[in-house]
Structure 1
């Protein structure tokens, strides 16, 4: 979504940059056009003036550039790009029936699925995609949870994190605070499983593809706590999460 304030700020920076560049070009052109007509003493004096103006213009340009970089850093879209990580490989799909509950995808033969060992850096306000997962036996979550080897009631506030955020189980049983970006509602959920971003398309993963690297795979209880009732229609939504 476009932000009018950001657009206005970018327009102001563009105008300021243009003015500095035009002033610099005009100053240099004036010096080269008029210096041959000046005596040596006057030429030296004008040259010093030109050097002072150039220094001031360079300082102004540096300030504008710094402001532009700072604005980009505040922009969540740019921050997301800078924080992204690249696939470490690709997994060849293998067609098989899987549990399509909650809109889960099944692996397909001939498809290649990206694998990630990393996730975007965790901050005080980490952006992620919330998906719906069944943590009870026989549901689309596959086997029992990695952290405790157990299944969990769908009304429990529990989540699975992408491999990078799961961090080899270092966040097992930790609580995270999830914020619904649409309505501001929050839910405090416990990490019990990994949303595997490396492996998939096998029985252990219910023949589903590897998880993307920015997923918080949540129970039905979490979705309800976030004020989402039509969860099957929504499928996924943007959230932020932080450690508590």
Structure 2
């Protein structure tokens, strides 16, 4: 599969699992042959992306191949990949639960298995602005806030996830969106002994159990099986 085909497939999986937002949001993959990267083209929904709607760009965001316009927020991708040689793919999306949860500023708790991928410690956050990350300076600030973590919440904006490859970055985005949605559900529920717990306190794993579950539920084999299932499911929808 070519890099453009990988990005297209990843975009369609993201769209099918809570990360679509009209024509916004994007996925990138590092080019295996150099410093460029392959990025979803602007102007299309994630579910519409095919290999000919993926553009190759250089570290400054200039098109060097592929097809389509470059997203304004390409600095998220170029800056993260510049700062993280271990990262092969980056997702930025506006999943509704992630946007809503990021706006609360509450710590993300592992109320379900998915949350263990991001806690402990609490998930990384970018709070400098809720505006677009459309300059090299803001891209570098996002990369610095992400550090060596696998995900970051952009305040009042959405999420960024990374991985060594497209499947890992995409799965991480899907799991983060679900973790945010589950905690919002817990936070809104009334409890017999009093009001709802806004941060899920008392209704999540302790740190030791969370780390055990992280290794047990999301090892390489489990992620490979989950990705294969998502691709099969996507084919079944066609």
Same fold (TM over 0.5): no
**More strand, by proportion:** 1
Q: TM-score range by the shorter chain?
A: under 0.3
Query: Whose Rg is larger?
Result: 1
